[in-house]
Chain A
Amino acid sequence: GAVVSQHPSWVICKSGTSVKIECRSLDFQATTMFWYRQFPKQSLMLMATSNEGSKATYEQGVEKDKFLINHASLTLSTLTVTSAHPEDSSFYICSAPGQGRLGGQPQHFGDGTRLSIL
């Protein structure tokens, strides 16, 4: 079935480093990818929506220059956390809509990336 492969699953890096998270759709084309952020024991908050070949749409309060999103192909979307700081430490999850009625289509979630900034 349709799968979204997310890498890396866990990354630890020093403050000031930029970190790239990749989400690849396997066996299907993902023209849209949603990027969520989740703090421990809290809900998923939508950060941005990426669309293949166009600029991402960011939610209010999300810094575009801090969280760079690229969706250069129908199977790959990336989130780059630039100059990461400890407050950027979080769990990041991507999801891509599958086939189905608009709004009700299944969401194929990646397994998430745990980002820890020292």
Chain B
Amino acid sequence: AQTVTQSQPEMSVQEAETVTLSCTYDTSENNYYLFWYKQPPSRQMILVIRQEAYKQQNATENRFSVNFQKAAKSFSLKISDSQLGDTAMYFCAYAGGTSYGKLTFGQGTILTVHP
């Protein structure tokens, strides 16, 4: 079975600084996808970034980028120029390449951005 582990229950960062959230996963599949989701206090689930395992290039979306280390099964999220609106719970998630997007989530990291 696939597992996703986020070892940082809580993180904090000053506004405008950079923070990195860690995620490791375990799978025996070759084809899969990794995601970072943001859940603000409203509890809506918002997709931050997506990485396809067969792509070596790290995904980036504006201030958000990932460091995907396939051999190490590591998938960290870097948030640059942190903003107050980035305060949320962040989930790392995994979906197998033969699934219909069935997600396995990590435990989550609560990120607080301080002014």
Binding site for B on A (CB under 8 A): 32, 34, 38, 41-46, 49, 91, 93, 95, 97, 101-107, 109, 111-112
Contacts and interface: CB of A to CB of B under 8 A. Distances in A.
Contacts of B98: 102-103
- Classify the interface of chain A: helix, strand, loop or mixed: strand
Contacts of B107: 42-43
- Using C-beta atoms within 8 Å of the partner chain, give the interface range for chain B: 20 to 34
Give the secondary structure class of B's interface.
Answer: loop
Contacts of A104: 33, 50, 52, 95, 97, 101
A106 B102 contact: no
A83 B47 CA distance: 34
Given A44-B45, A46-B104, A103-B33, 14 more contacts: A41-B108, A42-B107, A43-B108, A46-B103, A91-B43, A101-B52, A102-B100, A103-B32, A103-B99, A103-B100, A104-B52, A104-B101, A109-B45, A112-B43
Contacts of A45: 105
Closest 9 interchain pairs by CB? A97-B101, A103-B97, A109-B45, A104-B33, A43-B105, A97-B100, A32-B100, A103-B95, A44-B105
Nearest to B106: A43
Contact of B47 (A46, A101, A106, A112): A106
7 contacts: A32-B100, A46-B102, A46-B103, A49-B102, A97-B101, A104-B101, A107-B47
Interface string B65-109: 000000000000000000000000101000111111111111110
A10 to B, nearest CB: 11
A49 B101 CA distance: 11
A34 B95 CA distance: 13
B62 interface: no
